[in-house]
Structure 1
């Protein structure tokens, strides 16, 4: 049950115009690869299935409108796009194919997303969003390294958020045996749990820090941290 928190602060004159912290949950036995720059396109850093937007010329809202025309053909998904441009302005857009709504442009602010629609107030999401908000409020006082560390610590919070009727209802037989564990931000069961923490920072000048902490082997006691830094063409 993946979870994402992000702050969108376009053209911020101080510190960061975008901060993201996310957990990816998977079965430990499922093959996976850590994020890296693609061999056939060194401008793309990704470990996820968002290739079309990253390789096309369309702006975020146009791309999401194209996706929404076929949204009914797929199981539930959420897609968020972000573009940073000093001339046209920073934009973020969102589409959830189970929302019954058209893609929309997001206002500046702090958002949370889990296995439902954007900002669905599950107890787990509300709790995590508070922790995220408290952390990013310190961004001007913390070094880049310290902010990344604090966000990763936040993502690894194991406090159970019960009761969790919305999560239980969505997963039913699959969720019920491990409902308690899944109610935490950091999920750990014998066979399923959080396998990746991701933190992305985009500062006022367009400098990006991408940090990923990934479970190895798979073994919940062995982790690898990778970090990438680069400049956006804005």
Structure 2
């Protein structure tokens, strides 16, 4: 059950603040976040099974992330990998709106997904399981494996805490703490999933400030929450 908490132009200091958990089976081969080619344009983790990603950024400020939509459709299997959707946006020159137009007729070729695409000028939310093709205005958002800003406890609580951080100021540690809650007995309350076979495999924090300076960090984890490493990148976006 993945989680993406993010804020678009939340205050004069930042253009984007994001904290995200990726939950997945531990047996699925994955590569840690890095620049994908020699030109160093696209920064993302990589699903080695299908070649896609769950979250990425380019050096000119193009951003995309994806979550699965719950519950899955039973008895139906689609060959196309959802992880190719962020990759294709990041590699190509579509505007966010133009990209969603381009994939609209292909959306049912994938299992259920929520997709975020943006380029600092505009951001969009799109899903193939509900009627959603929404331009996002400035504000605070939470996305898991249901509709954007759904009522799940971890989404509501995460948004509320992110608002407070944006108002009071924050550190990297504060953003990570948004993602560390292991939940209560209440269903869908856990942000961080401990498990032997399935659980949280990556925490990502991403900030873009008013001077286009980027911080992108990814912590990776193994079974039962075992910390495996930290990848950190900072650079200034190219205009």
Q: Deviations over 1:126-150 (max 9, x none)?
A: 12222222222223xx4xxxx2111
Q: More displaced, 112-121 or 218-227?
A: 218-227
Matched, 1:159 2:190: no
Does residue 1:95 correspond to 2:126, yes or no? yes
Q: CA deviation at 1:219?
A: 6.2
Number of residue equivalences: 201
Change (3 A) 1:219 1:123: closer
More strand, by proportion: 2
Q: Which residue of 1 aligns with 2:18?
A: 20
Match of 2:41 among 27, 39, 43: 43
1:174-208 per-position Cα deviation (integer Å, ceiling 9, x unaligned): xxxxxxxxx31111123211111000000001111
Give the CA deviation at 1:221. 2.4
**Match of residue 232 from structure 1:** 237
CA-based RMSD of the aligned residues comes to 1.8
Map 1:64-79; keep pairs closer than 5 Å. 64-79=100-115
The 3 A distance-change label for structure 1 pair 44 and 120 is same
Change (3 A) 1:160 1:68: farther
Q: What's the TM-score, normalizing by structure 2?
A: 0.78
Between Structure 1 and Structure 2, whose CA radius of gyration is higher? Answer: 1
Q: Which residue of 2 aligns with 1:53?
A: 89
Structure 1 residues 80-229: aligned runs within 5 Å: 80-84=116-120, 90-101=121-132, 103-139=133-169, 142=170, 147-160=171-184, 162=186, 164=187, 183-216=189-222, 220-229=225-234
Secondary structure of the corresponding residue to residue 101 of structure 2: helix
Q: Which has the higher helix share?
A: 1
Q: Provide the C-alpha distance between the structure 1 equivalents of 2:153 and 2:180, rounded to a whole number of angstroms.
A: 17
Per-residue CA distance 1:205-234 (angstroms, 9 max, x = gap): 111100111115x56323311110111123
Question: What stretches of structure 2 of length at least 5 have no aligned partner?
Answer: 46-52, 54-82
Runs of 4+ in structure 1 deviating by more than 6 angstroms, as ranges, are: none
